Amino acid sequence: MENEKVKTKAQSGNLLEVEHLKEYYPVSVGMKKVPLKAVEDVSFTIKPGETLGLVGESGCGKTTVGRTILQLYKPTAGRIVFDGDVLFDSEKKIKVDMLPYRKRMQMVFQDPYSSLDPRMTVEDIIGEPLDVHKLYANKKERREKILSLMELVGLNAEHAMRYAHEFSGGQRQRIGIARALAVRPQFIVCDEAVSALDVSIQAQVINMFEEIQEKLGVAYLFIAHDLLVVHHISDRIAVMYLGRMMETADADELNENPIHPYTLSLLSAVPIPDPETARRSKRIVLEGDVPSPLKMPAGCPFRTRCKYATEQCAKEMPELKDRGNGHLVACWNK
Amino acid sequence: MEANKEDFKYKKRAFLSAQIDLSKFNKNDFEKATEEEKKQQDVMGESRTFFQDGMRRLRKNPLAMMSIFILLAIVVIIIVAPMICPYSYDTIIRVDGKRDRGVVNLGMMQYSDMEIEYMERTGEKLFPHIFGTDSLGRDYFIRCIYGTRVSLSVGVVAAIMVLIIGVIYGSISGYFGGKADMIMMRIVDVIYSLPDMLLIILLAVVLNENLGPLIQGTVFESLGSNMIAMFIVFALLYWVGMARLIRGQILQIKKAEFVLAARTIGTPNGRILRKHIIPNCLSVIIITTALQVPSAIFTESYLSFLGLGVSAPMTSLGSLANAARDSMQSYPHRLIIPAVIIVLIVLALNLLGDGLRDAFDSKLN
Ligand SMILES: Nc1ncnc2c1ncn2[C@@H]1O[C@H](COP(=O)(O)OP(=O)(O)OP(=O)(O)O)[C@@H](O)[C@H]1O
Ligand code: SF4
Ligand SMILES: [Mg+2]
């Protein structure tokens, strides 16, 4: 792999801009078709070479956000701009052919088992993006590229002819990462790329992500449900709840000065190693279940579990407001 | 570290402790693994492909292996026998160029009087009539060989037609889904409800009149229009089962994340179908095709038995059995032999199909 970093066209601005993204799944309840509001108004930006962590409970729509950005699902509404090019705009009715962008935006999947074709060798899995975009002149170059990718993600090149089912979870995830890197993308969605792995291997893979970022200058949308993991790798963090953005801030700022009640409860869910400190800290324990995205509560979606909830929360959804230093919070009372 | 190596001692294990007794070791036993040693831990089991895996399981199945052996033996015999045997399926046996009236209806391994006399006169050994001869004086062994050839090729050709049409139709329907899928599946439902035997018989009658002159002088002529009618019906009707099965498989595989990953890469639809979806339904395709062969052989035998099979003098196992009906009492072996061959082939293919399913299908889920 040549060691030059990927260059961005929009030098001054953002690599990715997502504005008011909505994604509704049509689901049938009985005989009726109703929209399941998996993502309801999400906006964020990512700068070249930056990592945005996206956290939230299971089912809050993180995967949906990632896949919608890559246009694997057609967005219901919103606007997506990548490197100065509008990929999707529901108002202006713009939808571009994604093929050239498939080389520039990639994804690492949540499940290292089902995301690799069991009938393909590692060489063919990593080689597929090279084949599709014709990124080599001859067989020899293809093989060289594949081997250097395997080396980059720490896989033994001798195992190129093996099938995915012969590898462990961590090794499989590395195969998935090599496949995503094969086209030299500027942006990768890492959808809970480490959640399925053992804690010790998680650390290895996260370090690898960081090394690759340093080497190649890619930007990540790093999805996880664990704030601790995200804090380590992210420059900025966005907290999601039931398809909405609750709080966005720089990683350290969010960790030291969390404002939104939901973020506070997420942070207190992080285990504290020292029992003494743990006892003294005022934990906010989340009570109640996440409401079904089919029956979204009016106003603030968190109000059914929020101890600061007031009447106003039931009436209107609070907007994301800047509390200084780019720390955005959507809450009436905090 | 070297310095305090002497005074380094592990604590003695507490009484009844389940821990490893560390006092039995010294520090040298716990050297750090070198890179090379770590690499050794990496080594995984022998690389095995999906097919090697399946074949290994298949080899452990005695019924399936026996079936393969029987089928191979049959194939070898029907290829080699006509090269060795001097008789032909459609020629009436002559001795020394002269018509032999005594050569009809011989029993197994019998010679006619004229043949015996000829052999005594010249000292030359004539090839034996292993299964005897039929009522027209044709060698029955070679007729059975040709009958098996026809029956097996009918089965294989029909299965291949079902395979091609069923796989293409089913994959398109399953992969694109939505409205196209709905319409295509309703067509399948309609075809499924047509009575196939009735259609074959009707088509055979109609084609018999119209197709005769058309196929004159082509390879199809010796098979006859009945066979063509059967192939057409197979092509028109029998693929629906295969198409349904493939569609179901594809609907399932389509949802797998590796297909989504391929789309993220920008892989075009055709390539996703060819490289990801079809290979993952391959086991189902192989098994269904294997089971299709006996079903086609059975249909052909059944039709030939009704007199709608291949045209004389060409023969098939079904028409041999049909012809033997009249003389069933005097020459039962002429009915038993083709019947046994049909049973052997159909049984072996069914057992092989089941064996393939057991060996390959578990991997799918
Ligand atoms: N294809 C689909 N059809 C209908 N509903 C869907 C579909 N995919 C996801 N959903 C629903 O949309 C919501 C958001 O799902 P999503 O997978 O984006 O959540 P997530 O945050 O990634 O969760 P997890 O942490 O468990 O991966 C969930 O309620 C889920 O049930
Ligand atoms: S808006 Fe109201 S309900 Fe929502 S988080 Fe803030 S205080 Fe709680
Ligand atoms: Mg997810």
User: Residue A321 CA: which ligand is closest?
Assistant: 2
Q: Which residues pair with A152 in a beta bridge?
A: none
pLDDT in tens, B95-112: 877 787 788 888 888 888
Looking at residue A183, its pLDDT comes to 93
Task: Give the pLDDT confidence score for residue B280 in this predicted structure.
Answer: 87
Share of chain A above pLDDT 70, in %: 90
Q: Which residues of A touch B268 (CB under 8 A)?
A: 132
* DSSP secondary structure letter of residue B98: E
Query: Rounded to an integer, what distance in angstroms lies between the CA atom of residue B92 and that of residue A274?
Result: 101
Assign B212 a pLDDT band (cuts: 50, 70, 90): low
User: Please, which pLDDT band fits residue A2 given cuts at 50, 70 and 90?
Assistant: very low
* Chain B interface, Cβ < 8 Å to A: 39, 42, 44-45, 47-50, 256-258, 260-268, 271, 275-276, 279-280, 282, 363
Least confident range from A91-105, A263-277, B292-306: namely: A263-277
Q: Is the pLDDT of residue A1 over 70?
A: no
Domain count, chain A: 1
- Can you give chain A as a three-state secondary structure string? CCCCCCCCCCCCCCCEEEEEEEEEEEEEECCEEEEEEEEEEEEEEECCCCEEEEECCCCCCHHHHHHHHCCCCCCCEEEEEECCEEEEECCCCEECCCHHHHCCEEEECCCCCCCCCCCCEHHHHHHHHHHHCCCCCCHHHHHHHHHHHHHHCCCCHHHHHCEHHHCCHHHHHHHHHHHHHCCCCCEEEEECCCCCCCHHHHHHHHHHHHHHHHHHCCEEEEEECCHHHHHHHCCEEEEEECCEEEEEEEHHHHHHCCCCHHHHHHHHHCCCCCHHHHHHCCCCCCCCCCCCCCCCCCCCHHHHCCCCCCHHHHHCCCCCEECCCCCEECCCCC
Residue that is written with structure tokens 């299971």 in the block: A58
Confidence of residue A55 (pLDDT cuts 50, 70, 90): very high
Give the ipTM of the model, two decimals please.
0.86
Name the packing angle between helices B333-361 and B317-324 (round to 10°): 150
pLDDT confidence of A259, banded at 50, 70, 90?
A: very high
* Mean of pLDDT values over A23-49: 89
Confidence at residue B49, expressed as pLDDT on a 0 to 100 scale: 63
pLDDT band at A3 (very low <50, low <70, confident <90, very high): very low
Residue B5: pLDDT band (50, 70, 90) is very low
Cα dihedral B266, A148, A172, A57 in deg (nearest 10)? -70
Give the CATH superfamily of B65-83+145-360.
MetI-like (1.10.3720.10)
* Most B CBs within 10 Å, among A119, A155, A177, to test the B interface: A119
* CB of A187 closer than 8 Å to CB of A104: yes
Residue A123 in any domain: the answer is: no
Domain residue spans in chain B?
65-83+145-360, 100-137
Q: Rounded to the nearest 10 degrees, what angle do helices B278-305 and B196-214 cross at?
A: 80
Region B351-356 average pLDDT: 88
Residue A148 is assigned to a structural domain of this protein: no
pLDDT single digits (tens) A111-151 = 888 899 988 889 999 999 999 999 999 999 999 999 999 99
In a domain? residue A134: no
pLDDT at B45 over 60: no
Nearest CA to ligand 1 atom 12: A38
Q: How confident is the model at residue B44 (pLDDT cuts 50, 70, 90)?
A: very low
Query: The domain containing residue A46 runs over which residues?
Result: 2-104+185-329
Ligand 1: atom nearest CA of A223 is 22
A87-101, A185-199, B87-101, range with the lowest pLDDT? B87-101
Ligand 2 proximal residues by C-beta, below 6 Å: A 261, 300, 302-303, 306, 308-309, 313, 318, 331-334
Percentage of the residues of chain A whose pLDDT score is greater than 90 = 49
pTM of the model: 0.73
Q: Please check the confidence at residue B307 and state whether its pLDDT lies above 80.
A: no
At B145 the pLDDT is 93
CATH code, domain with A286: 3.40.50.300
